[in-house]
Amino acid sequence: MNKIDRIKELIEILNRAAKAYYQESRELMSNLEYDALYDELCELEKETGIVYGNSPTVNVGYELLSELPKEAHESPMLSLDKTKEPEVLRSWLNGKEAILSWKLDGLTIVLTYKEGKLFKAVTRGNGEIGEVITNNARTFANIPSAIPFKGELVIRGEAVIRYSDFEKINASIEDVDAKYKNPRNLCSGSVRQLNNEITAKRNVNFYAFNLVKAEGRESVSVEADFNWLLEQGFDVVEYKKVTSDNIVETISWFADRITDEKNSMDLPSDGLVLTFDDIVYGRSLGRTAKFPRNAIAFKWADELAATRLLEVEWSPSRTGLINPVAIFEPVELEGTTVSRASLHNISILEGLELGIGDEISVYKANMIIPQVAENFTKTGDMVYPEHCPACGGATEIRMTNDVKALYCTNPLCSAKKIKLFSHFVSRDAMNVDGLSEATLDKMIEKGFLKELPDLFHLSDYAEEIKEMEGFGQKSCDNLLASIDKSRKVIMPNFIFSLGILNIGLANAKLICKEFNYDLERIRKASVEELTAIGGIGEVIAKTMMDYFSNEHNSEILDLLLKEVDLQIPETTAAEGSQSLVGKVFVVTGSVNHFKNRKELQAKIEELGGKVTGSVTGKTDYLINNDNTSSSSKNKKAKELNIPIITEEEFLRMIENFA
């Protein structure tokens, strides 16, 4: 294993161990093992001059901006000419060697390094002016914050989020409407965050595809540049060297990577890029008004299949939007059977002039997402439902941002209600056991549940519930007991349970703490008051204010408050001073006076302090009973002149001996 691969392996091992230790209160290795691996990583970083942004030796300061600054690129970033025909690529090569690589589908970024340090990161923007996202780029999983090359370096590459990470993030979002549509949208939003702590959690990766400038170094070939960038610690796009003889079979190799289940491509891609390997030759070709002549893009020739439209299914969501879905006779596409495709909105449906029974062609966009390509018969006689398929309420067509869409006008729509009740009873909200979406659907249908306060009156329907499928005397009693138990609820969990758009549990906690757990103050808070809270932006503040100013929501909240007993978190209600407000601690090693480090952390937070996992310039104290050890945290604390104290010294500090 080479040194760069070993660095990456150590980072993964150490970060996994740190997460288990600090967030899950379990140990994957001893402190001795951790420190040995940490020291090995430090030595390798020193030896190679490569330090990655996600290395535990680096502490990236999180930053909250009001807006992203803009900056003009030194030279315009042009688009590429493109083709879907492999033979066009063979002819284009004209006997020359070239590099065939993935055309990744993310956000193009330009990185500048000076004196071996990341100096600047700018998005492609419109090709001439981009947004400066330097501090966000520092949090990318695989961007080096330091490299061995000390001259000015400018490279271009693609920021992407893997399909596997995209699916994990979407799986963690309960609200269907809040899920991200595709990895590119998620990546674009993550890279351009005003709060780079959010970027850090999204596992954004960067793959270089063009070395623009390396001060004092002459670029001869693309492959040589790629190898040199690998030596500097960068990841580059996966590529193959090709000629006219093997270009067609190499395209097939890339295509197989997308459909191969065992060795599938985990990075989003919308095609390939072919670039002349000889850089001098490529530059000599110049460019057109629109495209450079040294490279060309290859877009996958979509596999089309003819079929017949059987029906359009209308799928309502929590927001009231009703999405059209095309149902057609099953066809084989890219190795799978396909029988449905989203039509997204009425504007697209009208553009295709669809009618039931029409002969259509379908394909998989980027070999993945089923789409309707063309309508051959174009009857255009589609009838839009006048009533919501979920609740029977009236529908209406609305024009939003020049797009027509169908909406349910019924504020009590069952599709909305099911999602709302499901969220209300979830574990981090009211925490009621025994109410699945299927059960809630039945109870809403039977009229047991119309508004959230009705949950606390389900005992009125105890006899009917016992007769429901899956219920009996015991399960009914358990459900009613769980509902009764949920009445005593901690305030942040209660606010989270209301289903306010963009308000997660963490945000609810922040807001409650800022307003000293005074619900009336929270209900009357202005956007200005809410945005003054660290971590709360204008979008969140506005949705919060809009929710509480809505008359219907206010009435429901008043009814709920008659049913619940709001609790203030124990750490806030506990007597004693907030003597540690503003103080930042790091805890390491074994503890003697507390059950575990988690209990010690809870004590610090109870007194207003904060506990972090790494020693940084913002740390006020490192708590370590072995304050003379040569552990990495002790070394860092000494370097930064941060006091290292024992448990006893900490207890004396808070005047509360255990």
pLDDT one-digit tens code per residue, 489-538: 999 999 999 988 778 776 788 889 889 899 999 999 998 888 887 657 77
- Model pLDDT, residue 571: 53
- How many residues appear in the chain? 658
- pTM equals 0.52
**Sequence-ordered list of residues with C-beta below 8 angstroms from that of 206, at least 6 positions apart, any chain:** 109, 111, 137, 140, 142, 143, 157, 158, 159, 160, 234, 235
Distance CA 463, CA 450 (A): 19
450-490, pLDDT tens digit by residue? 889 999 999 999 988 988 888 889 889 999 999 999 999 99
- Model pLDDT, residue 63: 54
184-189, Cβ contacts within 8 angstroms, sequence gap of 24 or more = 184/105, 184/106, 184/107, 184/160, 184/268, 186/161, 187/106, 187/107, 187/159, 187/160, 187/161, 187/268, 188/106, 188/107
Q: Which two tokens stand for residue 252?
A: 């097939």
- Model pLDDT, residue 280: 93
- Model pLDDT, residue 374: 87
Which H or E run contains 362? strand 359-365
Residues carrying an active site annotation: 103
Q: Which two tokens stand for residue 299?
A: 């877009």
Residue with tokens 């459909």: 259
Which of these, 339, 319, 343, 320, lies nearest to 330 by C-alpha position? 339
Other Cβ atoms closer than 10 A to 189: 15
Which of these, 202, 206, 160, lies nearest to 183 by C-alpha position? 160
3-state secondary structure of 30: coil
Which of these, 488, 482, 529, 484, lies nearest to 510 by C-alpha position? 529
- Model pLDDT, residue 206: 96
Which of these, 647, 651, 624, lies nearest to 635 by C-alpha position? 624
3-state secondary structure of 311: strand
- Model pLDDT, residue 539: 76
Question: Helix/strand/coil (H, E, C) string of 407-463?
Answer: EECCCCCHHHHHHHHHHHCCCCCCCCCCCCHHHHHHHHHHCCCCCHHHHHHHHHHHH
Contact (CB, 8 A) for 297 and 103:
yes
- Model pLDDT, residue 194: 76
Distance CA 407, CA 316 (A): 8
- Model pLDDT, residue 559: 95
Distance CA 63, CA 510 (A): 17
- Model pLDDT, residue 305: 87
pLDDT beneath 50: ranges in the chain: 22, 25, 66, 572-576, 656-658
Other Cβ atoms closer than 10 A to 24: 10
First-to-last C-alpha distance (Å) of the chain? 50
